[in-house]
Structure 1
């Protein structure tokens, strides 16, 4: 609370833009900091870092507690405006539930920035990292760190200039002292002795001031190098986070691809590094420790500023064209003269893990694998675009055991030699496509990825819910009776897409992908409106339907075949009891013939969508209107879905008998499609 009291007073003197950058309205508005000030300052936010995935559950607990406290404060607030505002903020903060570590790292950064503003920066155990959130400034909050560093450098320059002036004055007074030494030796005049004593005192004072300022100058230089090191560490972390966000964008997660703020950050740090190296040279005597640190920081910055702006496809076939763009964030600082040519080459996984030197063994041949680094003045970007690359051939390693060709990974390595203005030596820089795949990950991360992939492929905002998550975990781990939390159980690559599911001829991913494709092509609106329950196990299904009236039904994805949706419903038994029936799954082919809405309308056994929505109200918009009578006197024909005994008892029989469904043997009531004749039209046609 003490920190907030101090910072809140300071905020009144700051412009609105600075306050909004410190407390981004779309993610962590200032109201959160104000109403939860005491509680926030009691938590250990500094312990969190994005790379520590084991902290996810702890971070989620803090996020949930934050939301809960905001809701509680809102309900107790007598001001209706504050109450509505706090409730809206609490709802908005649920966007962090997919990755609560991002929330805790963001709060950590906000508190760190407050301490910097107060002049008491905390010692951080881990370098801060950043993630783009919706509508948040991409430079938040690191630009203030750079501004603070620039002010320190200006202070060093100012001290150096004052020292120079003092040194000039000292040199002049020493000359005067030498000039006055002659008269005192010759005449011994008292007034000359007095002047000399006064001059000696002044010289001693000047010498003391010069020495004191030299000590302060050195201390400030060391602080500047420390601060530069911290700022650059944060920049590198942010670049890594940007690359990770770019990687996750391939499965549909939101991604802000704008690199301009990071480019500005790189350029500012390069400028600061150059000024500090100049200040060291102007000292006039070597300081090896600081010179070496600045040299290493410069090298890391120059090498880290090469970024694959537009990634090539993740899967590339030989003899096919593909493109990619590599951007250099320090492009405007490249020394003029010789053009910079980037080269791309293919490397295998072993080479990618040992990039200390240029790979010697050539594992593949690339066509059109060079491009010139060119500056675009309008976009202020410097890029090399590989427009028509192609893999001519590739050398694969010997496979062992059950390894497949798709499990062998390769990467593209981009490299060049570059000269930066103000630097004496050229630097060899390189970047590659990140493709490291963990052998096993916690289920919570797997589920988050599956959810992102599903919603992005289906183009929907309706996420998988907790019931879907639990059933998917039961399926991938083959634990249908497990009722506890799966979050921290590790999923292996083999469980995901190598080993077939028990009793099935397909893997988990093949099955999940089939559901995703079916939903994308035929069920998007149904899913988006929450009409499909989705992934649910048989035990849970029976639990929620057992007390419902006959005819109650829900839509769930088939767990016995790829790409199917089935209708589970409550029906009566012969002795007056109830049982749960699962209709034979409808596949892509079935729904191409007749839509899901029309099939639901056809089946008289089902009347209420779980829990109690009349089916004709919720599905009416999906019903197909009867077609107008065709011209020419033809008898109109329509399709209708029949379930179980309906199909065998109806008259007239289908014009073309359908074969028995192969799924009827596994407990699904069979489904057939009858062609109904319009009798009135038939009689009218015969009469004519």
Structure 2
């Protein structure tokens, strides 16, 4: 209800804009009396383009109607009688309006709440007075001030145009009077000489007076026309400047935010604000265009010597160029198609015309078509080298009619069930792989403005998409998309990106991606980034300053394998992200996982801590693996490392339960008791039998190491999951360890499978007898 309380404090134009949000589609009384209920609902959780959400929207509609009816019943007394009837009527009206399209109710209320929030925020910024406004507020104030100037100048030219029209009409009347006098003079020849002389003198005097007035007035009219033309030129100059600011700066920035959102950046907002600006532009441009057209009509009605025809012709051409640029630039993709696009899989997208409602395009709803084109075809389209849209594949359900939503004033086309049936690839260059080839979805339409007076053919390209045919390609395709989203520049030739970037730039992109996947403000620390730099550059430096000026190439990022590994830097990092996202997100957000620590660093950290202290770090040798390192006293204090756990392991037993099972793990580095950190994630024990059976439980066991011979002897007691999982850190003589102290995966996994096979049967028998 807090938002509604603030909205009621709005004044002036802001209050007028707030009131304009309401009407028959959603009465303001409903907002007022159900303010608390409305603001407590999770409207943003519903996806408007997903038909599966209709059931949720239906329940919200029913709840809203029910709340209204309850509120109506509570009204009593003489003063409440009319309100009771009115609220009951609104309940019936809303039920009737949205019963068949409940998602439209959600769209309407979301639009209202977002608009109220924007108006309240703008009013708050304006009331700060002496406080310095941020750059965003300053730009918005500049734009709003320019709109006010344009509104005033357009009103002035409208007033001057009416004066000109009135003066011209009076001029024509006087001109007709002059013609009538001339006709009378011509008819005097039939009169007697005496009478003719007397009347001729009077008529000639009157004609001289009228002609003198006509001469003066013709000069005045011509000057009036030229002055009006000059005023229109000034208005068009401000209009063009305002449009450049909105389309070439604000809209481009919105598109950039939308692109970064593909890497996990903040969700792009402000589209409704942009639409309101574009609609104001459209309204002012159209008013000025109509004024110029009326000036042309007046000039044709009364031709006068001078340059007016040329001036008006130029003004008309200029205003047509301005409106053409506005319409074609505001045909945008509101919801992008997925940038990693798998064939035969359904996907969605939404396009929107920001000025569609203002220019009444919806009166004859246009159809939008989607086709997929290659990078080369996109270049040709932008250079106007191709007059027709060639396709590089076949998209099913690729035609959609634009719909006008009265509640929000938006004109959009929602492609809900597109599917890429096939793709035609081009010849690849050099080392480029399939997952480095970029395509784009082209949306195009045609519509008319002003009763077919102007016809526009509009096109817009989606962000680059990488087409895959198998899930195994997703990792590398995501790398291409991340690099493109992070480093693309506005106005680039499709789809050029730098081959090398500064390391801090890549750090920003990786941090953005990581934060988004963790749904947390805890991203990558400076120490984490130093660890990643060491991995990317095969460097041993711990000084972050050493990496600030270094550049990393696309090949280093995801084309060349890391030294001694069969995977790239990105493949390793993405494996970590996937593991964390699927299984370990809460532990990362709790600060329980150090993660980005190598074996030597783990040893240095742990040897100064009490026995039983452990930490969690990501595996250097395996994609998507995490290991536990802990201090254990043998003949001397040593740091042990469990064989890495992967997604497969955590789908069987969670990390918290595995840590709970291992009794020799006592303190999470640096000194937190493990139960204090992990107890809330432990699986509770079964309290009773189900259908007469006791359900068996998997438990991890780690025999206490007694010497180097026990290096690989830690395994679980599950008959279906035997996991050799520990190694003593200093033992460097084992042939399964590489020179850096990491496992050779192929040999290790062979031994693991062999040990598992040897131990499976006796363990299984023991496990079965225990459960029975």
Q: Does the TM-score normalized on the shorter chain lie above 0.5?
A: yes
Q: TM-score, normalised by structure 1?
A: 0.67
Assess if the C-alpha contact under 8 Å between 1:455 and 1:462 holds in 2.
yes
Q: CA deviation at 1:547?
A: 4.7
Picking from 367, 372, 394, the partner of 1:346 is 372
Q: CA deviation at 1:583?
A: 3.5
Mapped partners of 1:495, 1:652: distance in 2: 37
The 1:549/1:293 distance shift into structure 2, 3 A limit, reads farther
1:376-396 CA-to-partner distances (Å, cap 9, x unmatched) read 434433333444444443322
Mapped partners of 1:487, 1:226: distance in 2: 45
| Secondary structure in structure 2 of the residue aligned to 1:426 | strand
Picking from 406, 409, 418, the partner of 2:447 is 418
Superposed, 1:387-426 pairs within 5 Å as 387-421=416-450, 424-426=453-455
Picking from 468, 477, 484, the partner of 2:528 is 468
Match of 1:298 in 2: 323
The 1:30/1:643 distance shift into structure 2, 3 A limit, reads farther
Q: CA deviation at 1:430?
A: 1.0
In the alignment of these two chains, the number of paired residues is: 564
Q: Does 1:587 align with 2:587?
A: no
Mapped partners of 1:30, 1:256: distance in 2: 26
The 1:546/1:651 distance shift into structure 2, 3 A limit, reads closer
Match of 1:161 in 2: 162
Match of 1:533 in 2: 594
Match of 1:641 in 2: 701
Match of 1:273 in 2: 285
Superposed, 1:179-578 pairs within 5 Å as 217-236=228-247, 237-256=249-268, 259-281=271-293, 282=295, 284=299, 285=308, 286-287=310-311, 288-332=313-357, 333-334=359-360, 340-355=366-381, 356=384, 357-359=386-388, 361-421=390-450, 424-435=453-464, 436=495, 438=497, 439-481=499-541, 483-485=543-545, 486-487=547-548, 489-537=550-598, 541=602, 547-570=608-631, 574=635
Mapped partners of 1:364, 1:157: distance in 2: 52
Assess if the C-alpha contact under 8 Å between 2:366 and 2:401 holds in 1.
yes
1:428-475 CA-to-partner distances (Å, cap 9, x unmatched) read 111121213624444444333333333333444432222222322332
Mapped partners of 1:143, 1:321: distance in 2: 42
Assess if the C-alpha contact under 8 Å between 1:583 and 1:643 holds in 2.
no
Assess if the C-alpha contact under 8 Å between 2:347 and 2:417 holds in 1.
yes
After alignment, is 518-527 or 533-542 more displaced?
533-542
Q: CA deviation at 1:504?
A: 1.3
| Secondary structure in structure 1 of the residue aligned to 2:541 | coil
Assess if the C-alpha contact under 8 Å between 2:657 and 2:682 holds in 1.
yes
| Secondary structure in structure 2 of the residue aligned to 1:504 | coil
| Secondary structure in structure 1 of the residue aligned to 2:137 | helix
Match of 1:110 in 2: 137
Q: CA deviation at 1:553?
A: 3.2
Assess if the C-alpha contact under 8 Å between 2:175 and 2:214 holds in 1.
no
Match of 1:71 in 2: none
1:275-316 CA-to-partner distances (Å, cap 9, x unmatched) read 222333416323255433322222111212222233333333
Assess if the C-alpha contact under 8 Å between 2:396 and 2:418 holds in 1.
yes
Match of 1:5 in 2: none
Mapped partners of 2:716, 2:332: distance in 1: 67
1:196-248 CA-to-partner distances (Å, cap 9, x unmatched) read 9xx999998x8998777656534432231122112222332333333333333
The 1:349/1:661 distance shift into structure 2, 3 A limit, reads same
Mapped partners of 1:437, 1:620: distance in 2: 50
Gaps of 5+ in 1: 1-11, 38-105, 117-141
1:337-389 CA-to-partner distances (Å, cap 9, x unmatched) read 86633322221101112212334654333444333334343443333344444
Mapped partners of 2:682, 2:363: distance in 1: 69
Match of 2:58 in 1: none
Assess if the C-alpha contact under 8 Å between 2:395 and 2:419 holds in 1.
yes
Q: CA deviation at 1:515?
A: 1.4
The 1:588/1:663 distance shift into structure 2, 3 A limit, reads farther
| Secondary structure in structure 1 of the residue aligned to 2:285 | helix
The 1:659/1:148 distance shift into structure 2, 3 A limit, reads closer
Mapped partners of 1:173, 1:382: distance in 2: 50
| Secondary structure in structure 1 of the residue aligned to 2:544 | coil
Match of 2:675 in 1: 616
Assess if the C-alpha contact under 8 Å between 2:614 and 2:669 holds in 1.
yes
Mapped partners of 1:456, 1:479: distance in 2: 28
1:321-346 CA-to-partner distances (Å, cap 9, x unmatched) read 44433323333325688663332222
Q: CA deviation at 1:415?
A: 1.7
Match of 1:60 in 2: none
| Secondary structure in structure 2 of the residue aligned to 1:530 | coil
Assess if the C-alpha contact under 8 Å between 2:503 and 2:552 holds in 1.
yes
After alignment, is 212-221 or 400-409 more displaced?
212-221
Mapped partners of 2:695, 2:413: distance in 1: 66
After alignment, is 146-155 or 440-449 more displaced?
440-449
Mapped partners of 1:623, 1:392: distance in 2: 46
1:651-680 CA-to-partner distances (Å, cap 9, x unmatched) read 999797967559773347999999999x9x
After alignment, is 357-366 or 402-411 more displaced?
357-366
1:571-606 CA-to-partner distances (Å, cap 9, x unmatched) read 56856xx66544432222333444322333444554
1:402-422 CA-to-partner distances (Å, cap 9, x unmatched) read 322222222222222221116
Mapped partners of 1:399, 1:257: distance in 2: 37
Q: TM-score, normalised by structure 2?
A: 0.61
Mapped partners of 2:345, 2:693: distance in 1: 54
The 1:644/1:336 distance shift into structure 2, 3 A limit, reads closer
Mapped partners of 2:11, 2:409: distance in 1: 34
Mapped partners of 2:391, 2:626: distance in 1: 49
Mapped partners of 1:416, 1:568: distance in 2: 60
Mapped partners of 1:489, 1:651: distance in 2: 42
The 1:322/1:22 distance shift into structure 2, 3 A limit, reads closer
Match of 1:85 in 2: none
